[in-house]
Amino acid sequence: MKIGITCYPTYGGSGAVATELGLELAERGHEIHFISYAQPFRLDGFRERVFFHEVEVEDYPLFEHPPYTLALAVAVHDAARQYDLDLVHVHYAIPHAASGWIAREMLLGERDLKVVTTLHGTDITLVGQHPSFHAITRFSILRSDGLTAVSGYLRDETVRNFGIPSEDISVVPNFIDTDRYRREGKPCHRTSLAPEGERILMHVSNFRAVKRAVDIVEVFARVVAEVPSRLIMVGDGPDRVRAGKRAVELGVADRVTFLGKHTSVDELLACADLFLLPSESESFGLAALEAMACGTPVVASRVGGLPEVVTEGESGFLLPVGDVEGMAEASLRLLRDDALWQQLSAGARRRAVEEFSVDQIVPRYEELYRKVLGQEAGIGADTTTKGGE
Ligand code: GMT
């Protein structure tokens, strides 16, 4: 198949998943065209059958906000014509699903470009619910020929908030390259991250408010009071400064390292003892899965799709949002009990391999593409009547 993939190219789970998916599909013989305003951050080096099309947005002085949605629609339209694309798979509904729909309409009568939309999280749970986006989000996802959500939780939220029939949404969980994300055979950075042999607690995110970065510092302050340890914060975003300030207030700043954005998180996660993810909301929690694949147990909040990823007592512990005491206790339990840590580390790795490996998940997207293209019966045959519209 010839497949266009549209995603946010910057750091973030949806862009990471979209890029890994495209690369994996190319490995499987498909021709992949990434279409975005910048090269996706995980797209490096030359890969056979992989192309990148940069969306150019004209910044005319009249525009306070250059209309990216339209420029993207034109880029998808042009790529579909030039490279004979069968479908475009858009990741994160806003504005990508609308751009895909426009491109498809522009091509009517000339070629039949199918649009597959993957819902990732705040496109449904937050941004998509804003009055300025709700109607177009609902419209564009209803017009998609194939629709997936990264967790059962996100599917249910889509049904609840947008009235989309549950049977029109396929749950296709995120996946992980378990050869790259592993503990064994990785360069060991323990001595530079924790020079005195301390335990390593780690967090990786974009430090948006939803990640509750300050809670991570709160948990760590309670842990380091009991067990010699270090907190390694990977990534960057709005709450990084607040988290740093809290570390100073709690007197633990000398034990906390902010590494900033990193392209080799697999190497870092492989030397962590614990991964903290106390998010307010998380439709999946890709970072938790990355940690698990590296055999790093997770202490996280019991929200959204996280319980579908992290199984309580098997790959980590889940606590209510904001329960920093509980999270600290769970962390200490793990760090103090080597047998328990070994058990959860092995359990985390096993779950990642058994449930979320590339070979289990990527074929499910291929199957959906075949359905959408009419190579098998499926939804999307009549997009004008979908969802009772
Ligand atoms: O939804 C967002 O705010 C951004 C998005 C991203 O690009 O990182 O995150 C969502 O998609 C990830 C990949 O599917 C999921 O792992 C994250 O849980 C999800 N974020 C939220 O639900 C807050």
CA of 192 relative to ligand 1 center, distance in Å: 30
- Grade residue 380 by pLDDT with cuts at 50, 70 and 90: very low
Q: What's the token pair of residue 246? A: 């809290």
CA of 45 relative to ligand 1 center, distance in Å: 26
Closest residue (by CA) to atom 12 of ligand 1? Answer: 13
The number of angstroms, rounded, from the C-alpha of 37 to the middle of its chain's C-alpha atoms is 19
Alpha-carbon span 313 to 370, nearest angstrom = 38
pLDDT in the model for residue 382: 42
pLDDT in the model for residue 140: 97
Closest residue (by CA) to atom 23 of ligand 1? Answer: 282
| Mean of the per-residue pLDDT values of the chain | 94
Alpha-carbon span 366 to 354, nearest angstrom = 19
Alpha-carbon span 39 to 263, nearest angstrom = 14
Q: Tell me, yes or no, if the pTM score tops 0.85.
A: yes
- Tell me: pLDDT of 185 over 90: no
Q: How many residues does the chain have?
A: 389
Share of the chain above pLDDT 70, in %: 96
Q: Which atom of ligand 1 is nearest to the CA of 286?
A: 16
Q: Which atom of ligand 1 is nearest to the CA of 12?
A: 8
Name the residue of 10, 90, 120, 292 whose CB sits within 8 Å of the most ligand 1 atoms, as the mutation to test its pocket: 120
291 and 348 in contact (C-beta within 8 Å)?
Answer: yes
Position 21: which residue type? Answer: L
pLDDT in the model for residue 264: 84
Q: For residue 263, what is the enclosing H or E element?
A: none
Position 48: which residue type? Answer: E
Name the residue of 8, 11, 14, 292 whose CB sits within 8 Å of the most ligand 1 atoms, as the mutation to test its pocket: 14
Same fold? 2-175+358-373, 190-356: yes
CA of 255 relative to ligand 1 center, distance in Å: 29
104 and 74 in contact (C-beta within 8 Å)?
Answer: no
Q: Calculate mean pLDDT across residues 120-146.
A: 96
From 5-14, 226-235, 268-277, the region with the lowest mean pLDDT: 5-14
- Grade residue 385 by pLDDT with cuts at 50, 70 and 90: very low
Bridge partners, 258 (sequence order): 233
What residue ranges line ligand 1, CB within 6 angstroms? 8, 12-15, 17, 120-122, 150, 174, 210, 281-286
Specify the higher pLDDT residue, 363 or 187: 363
Q: Which atom of ligand 1 is nearest to the CA of 123?
A: 1
Q: Which of 239, 225, 253 is CA-nearest to residue 332?
A: 225
- For residue 340, what are the contacts with CB-CB under 8 A and spacing of at least 6? 333, 334
pLDDT in the model for residue 381: 40
pLDDT in the model for residue 376: 64
pLDDT in the model for residue 378: 40
pLDDT in the model for residue 384: 37
Q: Which atom of ligand 1 is nearest to the CA of 174?
A: 14
CA of 124 relative to ligand 1 center, distance in Å: 10
- Tell me: pLDDT of 254 over 60: yes
Q: Which atom of ligand 1 is nearest to the CA of 122?
A: 1
Specify the higher pLDDT residue, 245 or 45: 245
Name the residue of 176, 261, 284 whose CB sits within 8 Å of the most ligand 1 atoms, as the mutation to test its pocket: 284
CA distances from residue 337 to 232, 269, 271, 332 in whole angstroms, order as listed? 21, 20, 18, 8
Query: Helix axis angle, 286-293 relative to 338-355, nearest 10°?
Result: 110
pLDDT in the model for residue 377: 45
Q: Taking CA 128 as the corner, what is the angle to CA 126 and CA 133, rounded to the nearest 5 degrees?
A: 135
3 and 34 in contact (C-beta within 8 Å)?
Answer: no
pLDDT in the model for residue 44: 79
Specify the higher pLDDT residue, 264 or 69: 69
Q: Quick one: fold of 2-175+358-373?
A: Rossmann fold (3.40.50)
Name the residue of 283, 290, 310 whose CB sits within 8 Å of the most ligand 1 atoms, as the mutation to test its pocket: 283
**Homologous superfamily (CATH) for 190-356:** Glycogen Phosphorylase B; (3.40.50.2000)
CA of 248 relative to ligand 1 center, distance in Å: 29
Alpha-carbon span 32 to 355, nearest angstrom = 25
Closest residue (by CA) to atom 19 of ligand 1? Answer: 121
- Grade residue 186 by pLDDT with cuts at 50, 70 and 90: confident
Q: Which atom of ligand 1 is nearest to the CA of 287?
A: 16
- Grade residue 42 by pLDDT with cuts at 50, 70 and 90: confident
